[in-house]
Structures are given as structure tokens and as C-alpha cells.
Amino acid sequence: MSNTIETIKEQISSNDILLYMKGNPRAPQCGFSSQAVQALMSCGERFAFVNILDNPDIRAELPKYANWPTFPQLWIKGELVGGCDIIVEMAGNGELQTLINDAVGTTEG
């Protein structure tokens, strides 16, 4: 197995909430990454990110590993949640908040 896949597995397993994106949360480099960051930030928990523009090997290998062709990609507790449309939809209906609360062990209310 390639070192890149090992790196990806390590990143996913060591971060409860991980966003693979273009750019960084303060300066997203595409509209989809920007929307994903806004949705995540609205949940109020810290999250890790990997800027795939700075990591071309991860940018090339992650879609094959995840069987998900596009970025951003949100991973929570080692599971691929999805991309921008799914993240934004889940944020809108409250599912994202619940998933993140469960991941970090907080309760609402």
C-alpha cells in the first residue's frame, strides 16, 4: 500500500471531524469548500482540515480510496459523510449538528 494511502488513513483515524478541502477554513479556494466550511463552522465545533491543493498526492489518491470523486470531503469518526451538497443539506435540516455532537460527545440543550 502506498505511503499516501497510509497518510490518509492516519488523518481520518486521528481526527473525529476532518474536512478535505481546497484552501483552508479562513481562505477557501473554491465555492464548494467555502460552503462546506460555513456549514461546519455553524455547528460550533473545531474540525481538522487538509488542504488538497498543498497535497497533490492526497488529491490524487483520496477519491480512489474514498470512492468519492470530488472535493470537499467530510469525514466524521472515520466515515465519509459526503461532499458539499450533502454537507449543506445536512446542516440545513439539523443532521450535521447531531452527527458532530455525537462525534465530540456533547449534548444539545
* Structural fold of domain 3-104: Glutaredoxin (3.40.30)
% of the chain with per-residue pLDDT over 90: 94
Compute the average pLDDT of residues 46-69: 97
pLDDT at 107 over 80: no
* Residue-level length of the chain: 109
30 is in an annotated binding site: yes
Structure pTM? 0.94
22 is in an annotated binding site: yes
Report which of 66, 57, 60 is spatially closest to residue 18, judged by C-alpha positions: 66
Sequence-ordered list of residues with C-beta below 8 angstroms from that of 77, at least 6 positions apart, any chain: 16, 102, 103
How far apart are the C-alpha atoms of 90 and 86, rounded to whole Å? 6
49 is in an annotated binding site: no
pLDDT at position 90 is 98
85 is in an annotated binding site: yes
77 is in an annotated binding site: no
pLDDT at position 106 is 73
Could you tell me the residue ranges of all domains in the chain? 3-104
